[in-house]
Chain A
Amino acid sequence: MKYIKQLFVTAAIALFTTACDKDETGIDTEYPVIDANAPGTFPVQCSTVKRGEKFTFKAAFSDNMALGSYSLDIHHNFDHHTHSTEVSDCSTDPVKKPVNPFLLIKTFDIPESQKAYAAIQEIEVPADIDPGDYHFMIRLTDKEGWQTLRGISIKIQ
């Protein structure tokens, strides 16, 4: 009995000591960060932009090693099917059918080996698009391919 107990304990120890690896050095396991609270960030959850006008997208990106690229996507959420990634909800217009909704897809490179990057892009909102609830999606990668998503609810007036 004693022998068996010892054997079990030894086996368990053997299994778990080999199991707990030394953490790999030089391997990036961290996601890049889109700082929601950086000063000047626009748009933020529930921001409003106007048709026929330009607005400036501003965001602060950072990563522990090196940033990769980012993409922006504005699409309608008239049917309220999807939710933003944010905590708070914004007041929404009634559900409606899209006629000529605004769609913007743009991808941008980030200069190599940047640990921090301030993204600034001027975005023009056409005058003839449907006003209403939209989603503003930011996708950010780092050099190793970790991706952080941020979906913000905005309103176009």
Chain B
Amino acid sequence: MILLFALPAKLVGQTLSGKVVSSTGQPLTGATITLMPEKIALPSDVNGTFRFEAVKKGRHSLRISFVGYKTFASLFIMSSDSLLLKDIILRAEEGQLQEITIKEDYQQLRRQQVSLSMEIVGADYLRRNLGGSLMQSLEKLPGIKTIGIGSGGSKPLIRGLGFNQVVVVENGIRHEGQQWCADHALEIDQFAAGRVEVIKGPSAFLYGSEAIGGAVDIKPAVLPAGHTAGGSADLMAKSNNGLYGGSVNLYARKQRVFADARMTWQEYGDYRVPADTMYVYDYAVPLHENRLRNTAGQERNVHLRTGWLTSQFQSVFYLSHTFSQSGFFANAHGLEPRRVDLDLHDRSSRDMQLPFQQVSHTKIISQSEFRYGQNRFDMELGYQRNFRQEHSQYVNHGYMPPVYPSEQSAPETLERAYDKTVFSANFKNELTYKNHTLTIGTSGEQQRNTIGGWGFLIPAFTQTSAGAFILDKFKVNEKLLLQGALRYDLGRIHIREYNDWFTSQSESGNSTYLTRAEAITRTFKNVNWSAGLNYTPGKFFLKVNAGSSFRMPIAKELAANGINYHYFRYEKGDPSLSAEKSYQLDLGTGINAEKFTAELTPFLNYFPNYIYLNPTARHDYFYGAGNQVFNYAQSRVLRYGSELQLTYRFLSNWNASLAGEYLYTRQLSGAKRGYALPFSPPASALAGITYKPNWDKLLTDAYFTLDCRLTARQNRIVPPERPTPAYQVFSFSAGGKVKTGAQYISVSLQVQNTWNTRYLSHTSFYRLIGLPEAGRNVILAVKIPFVIKGKSTS
């Protein structure tokens, strides 16, 4: 959907009229034009024109929808005079041909409907800012960071909360991987994302347990227009790790039936850092050609989509499979220095030796939508399977036998395996009645998790959860929107017993097979609420939201009793933990003027019982094999912070922007009272300047951007973190669209870390061993659309 501000062209009489045309100027007959808030709908006539009589004074909006075209919405103010709108141009829904550009105005409208702070980006934004993974491509958004694990993978971190405190939704279904695990990435194909919405705040009322820090909602690409067939090819290359890859899409649609397929593939070598030696403790590790040994990898994804579309009923079926394999830095497995065979590792920068990980994720989703009267009913059904394996050489830590026993069923190099199967279902009914939009919904999920390999971190478990919610949006008037929500959740986790496969020696000299996890079953119930308002009197806007969120403790927090040799720590769960609860107050205020926009989004957050892995002073001889004891505990936590975004357009072609973020965290009780929370991102600002020349013949939508990321030092740490010094990193990007025949080829170029600056990221998995971030990286991405059948949209 695109929203533009329709500008009055001419003022006549007492009516509202206009004309709907296609992008080639053809009048469109039969488009539905709805006048809001009156909700009067009219079709456009043979000439594409429409006319509303006796329209009241004040703010109104128009919604123009037409099958095969993107829905258009516009805002206008009716004075005592009548209004003839400028021609309204509808763009064909063939997103694959013309770029799906999410206009800033659309973002504004969407944001005005949500009282929480929110960021929205489209596929075009992702390509311009293409990073190693979807989350890295979003890192320029204020308040959003990643927990990086090398060149490819990363996990979302929203205002400093990540892991199981952020929910990721793809095609309407919660994405379930191994969120708890630090060296594991999100299995999402960024080329398949049509639009990404990031909600920065507690959103349990929408997504249930775990949406305590926020949610990343990934929407699919728009559906192809009627009676068309075509496709596109995305190609990309990166200089730093020698990545090359592509994504090919094909689609076809009759009027009601469509099918769409995508294949993505990429391969990359070891990534380079601006250092030739690094130190794991005092042990110097020389880096061959500045490359981090064994960080190469590959990714292969397949997506299929088919569906049936009518104006009343729509049903889409998705099938996707992602597979990735990536190496871990060979000279350190977590905190442990490893000696490596340099001849073997340095022979090629593109091969993968031990240790490495393999992840496959399969999804089958059915999404249906049914409209009747003033109602819209949505149903989402999903199945997914996540299978992850971590391979490394067998090292007999602690009491493990010196030689791996041949009778063990797991292969000698399989350190860990996690197999997760999830069934999900969501039902939702949205009813529009007078000024209310009332949504009632329910959702449920069933998870089954099994484990494998010789290393133990979490036990096998099954988990069932269900929730029901009611959400009301009440439009008091054109300026004020109120909303309130209430949700009830119920969840049960059943943890299976786990016994060591080897014996440990007690202090008295007895050998026993230790029980690492006891069988336990816990049930959690929670009621959450949210209330907010959006006030938009004109250019100025104000948002206020207060709400609660919760998170059921995960298997690791309840039942861990094993040694994490990546960190040399003995992690001990607590089966009596309560569900983590959070209360947050969000504010959002700003100005949307033609040349200038500003937005300030402060928040205040309190957890009465944050679940925290507390490092103690003790070492454990028996269960911990001499390692430091880390206990899961709960403490009161205070967090507050803000993002600030400013943009200013000047000299018609120039644009300056600043996006800053600040976060403060503090534990108010418990053993680490006064300390921060782990992985708290330091304050930072992204200052940028963009030049957009009018080279319409040569390069349409051309842009040149120079960015500088300024990051403050982070001294607020908690064991085992280390302070991270301040840094500044520059990046340059440029691009545009070249017209060849009837289509536009999009080209985007980025030079990340332009000056090859050596710096550390506080939220990187490898920060603890002082691994610098990637050096200069030139990224080229090209998108070539093609038409097999149907009209071009340009």
Contacts and interface: CB of A to CB of B under 8 A. Distances in A.
Q: Do A and B come from one complex?
A: yes
Interface of A: 1, 4, 7-8, 11-12, 15-16, 18-21, 23-24, 26-27, 29, 68-73, 75-76, 80-87, 97-98, 101, 103, 105-108, 137, 139, 141-147, 149-151
B716 A107 contact: no
Contacts of B715: 21, 23, 29
Contact of B627 (A29, A68, A108, A139): A139
A15 B685 contact: yes
A19 to B, nearest CB: 3
B67 interface: no
B142 to A, nearest CB: 11
Task: Count chain A CB atoms within 10 A of each CB in B284, B627, B628 and give the residue with the most.
Answer: B628
Nearest to A103: B399
B615 A147 contact: yes
A107 B402 contact: no
Given A71-B628, A82-B395, A106-B626, 9 more contacts: A11-B644, A16-B712, A29-B723, A85-B337, A87-B283, A107-B618, A141-B615, A141-B618, A145-B615
Contact of A141 (B393, B398, B614, B628): B628
B618 A15 contact: no
28 contacts: A1-B650, A7-B646, A8-B656, A15-B660, A16-B685, A19-B662, A24-B716, A29-B715, A68-B618, A70-B619, A71-B621, A71-B628, A75-B396, A80-B339, A81-B338, A83-B280, A85-B283, A105-B398, A105-B626, A106-B621, A107-B618, A107-B621, A107-B626, A143-B617, A144-B672, A145-B614, A145-B617, A145-B720
Nearest to B595: A4
B514 interface: no
Interface string B597-629: 000000000000000001111111100011110
A149 B228 CA distance: 64
Contact of A144 (B648, B660, B719): B719
A137 B335 CA distance: 13
B675 interface: yes
A86 B283 contact: yes
Contact of B336 (A68, A82, A145): A82
B102 interface: no
Given A12-B658, A20-B712, A72-B626, A144 B284 contact: no
B626 A71 contact: yes
A29 B717 contact: yes
A4 B615 CA distance: 48
B719 A73 contact: no
B683 A19 contact: yes
B282 interface: yes
B755 interface: no
Contacts of B396: 75
A81 B393 contact: yes
Nearest to A100: B402
B513 interface: no
Contacts of B646: 7-8, 11
B477 to A, nearest CB: 31
Contact of A83 (B337, B397, B402, B569): B337
Contacts of B685: 12, 15-16
Task: Count chain B CB atoms within 10 A of each CB in A19, A24, A146 and give the residue with the most.
Answer: A19
B403 A4 contact: no
Contacts of A70: 619
Given A145-B719, A147-B719, A4 B402 contact: no
B568 A147 contact: yes
B682 interface: yes
Contacts of A137: 626
A102 B620 CA distance: 20
A90 to B, nearest CB: 12
Nearest to A97: B403
B720 A147 contact: yes
B281 interface: yes
B106 interface: no
A15 B662 contact: yes
Contacts of A11: 644, 646, 658, 660
B8 interface: no
Contacts of A4: 596, 648, 650, 656
Contact of A68 (B393, B617, B625): B617
Interface string B450-469: 00000000000000000000
A91 to B, nearest CB: 14
Contacts of A145: 614-617, 628, 630, 671-672, 719-720
A151 B619 contact: no
Contacts of B725: none
The 3 closest A-B pairs by CB, nearest first: A68-B617, A19-B683, A145-B615
B280 A27 contact: no
Nearest to B567: A147
Given A7-B646, A68-B618, A146-B719, A87 B284 contact: yes
A81 B393 CA distance: 8
A66 to B, nearest CB: 8
Given A73-B626, A107-B619, A151 B337 contact: yes
Interface in B667-694: 671-672, 674-675, 682-683, 685, 687
Contact of B568 (A75, A81, A97, A139): A139
A24 B338 CA distance: 36
A86 B281 CA distance: 7
B482 to A, nearest CB: 31
B507 to A, nearest CB: 9
Interface string B563-591: 00000110000000000000000000000
B514 to A, nearest CB: 13
Nearest to B661: A15
A85 B280 contact: yes
A18 B717 CA distance: 17
A94 to B, nearest CB: 14
A143 B339 CA distance: 32
Nearest to B393: A81
A143 B671 CA distance: 10
Contacts of A15: 644, 660, 662, 683, 685
B619 A71 contact: yes
B664 interface: yes
A69 B619 contact: yes
Contacts of B398: 105
Contacts of B282: 85-87
A21 B397 CA distance: 41
Contacts of A27: 674-675
Contacts of A72: 626
Contacts of A69: 617-619
B617 A81 contact: no
A86 to B, nearest CB: 6
Contacts of B664: 21
Given A82-B337, A145-B719, A151-B337, A19 B614 contact: no
A68 B650 CA distance: 60
A82 B719 contact: no
Contacts of B687: 8, 12
A64 to B, nearest CB: 14
Task: Count chain A CB atoms within 10 A of each CB in B395, B614, B719 and give the residue with the most.
Answer: B719
A107 B620 contact: yes
Nearest to A66: B617
Contacts of B625: 73, 105
B160 to A, nearest CB: 14
Task: Count chain A CB atoms within 10 A of each CB in B619, B672, B683 and give the residue with the most.
Answer: B619
A141 B569 CA distance: 12
A24 B646 CA distance: 31
B338 A83 contact: yes
A139 B628 contact: yes
Task: Count chain A CB atoms within 10 A of each CB in B617, B628, B646 and give the residue with the most.
Answer: B617
Contacts of B399: 103, 105
Contacts of A141: 615-619, 628
A95 to B, nearest CB: 11
A143 B614 CA distance: 12
Interface string B57-90: 0000000000000000000000000000000000
